Amino acid sequence: MPIKAVICDMDGVLVDSEPAHQERVRQFFAEHGFEVPTEQLVTLVGCSGSYFDRKAAEWWTQVPRDGLGDEMPDVLTAYSRWKDEHGQIDYRPLINPTVPETLERLTAKGIRLAVASSTSHEGIRQELEPSDLLRHFEVIVSGDEFSESKPNPEIYLTTMARLGMGPDECIAVEDSDRGIAAGIAAGLRVAVMHEPRFAFSQQGGTWYIDRFDELLEIV
């Protein structure tokens, strides 16, 4: 059956945001006296909000108590305040090459588009809206809608239900092992964006692509 819809992960697929997110977390903890090991930061790639919360709380126990002052805030409060002081990440230069024009061309071909991301709805808006990419997606599903995010397939099953389509009509575009596993478990064929930086195995994909515009050959 012809492909009628493309369901995109966001971080790593549409936006090269993972290094910026990791650096922000690393800097926050470093300023509070704890250097998060690189191998630990990498585990955040493709993670759910609840996973980040657990890891941040774990690392917070390594922060010297005398560096926290009298207030002793919880880590999420402290991190939120710190981000407010340092300002939002500018995601516009982090949009992956060929993404805007490829979304335009897919829409022109009549391909329906959706986002299925472990990021919060607010995070999705912050990353895609400044580059005017949100308008291309008729369905946006966030991991914060579920008790379990990827690799649980529920996010993809929900996205397909909202599109009114089955897995034979859609493909997923992913880069992380969590995301690939979620797509496969939902019965989808998966186009995998090559990502050599985070030691992903990236196994099980139907197609492997180096650039987003290679999707045009697939559909």
> In the listed set 47, 67, 86, which residue is the last one of a domain according to the structure?
86
Round the average pLDDT of the chain to a whole number and report it. Answer: 93
For residue 214, what is the domain's CATH number?
Answer: 3.40.50.1000
Its domain, for residue 166, covers 5-17+91-218
Whole-angstrom distance, CA of residue 28 vs CA of residue 35: 9
Shared domain for 104 and 80, answered yes or no, is no
Give the model's pLDDT for residue 102: 98
pLDDT tens digit sequence for 26-55: 999 999 899 999 999 988 887 878 889 999
Give the alpha-carbon dihedral of 20, 23, 28, 29, to 10 degrees.
150
Buried b (16+ CB within 10 A) or exposed e, 71-85: eeeebeebbeeeeee
pLDDT of residue 69 exceeding 70, the answer is: no
Question: Is 31 in a helix, a strand, or coil?
Answer: helix
Shared domain for 193 and 96, answered yes or no, is yes
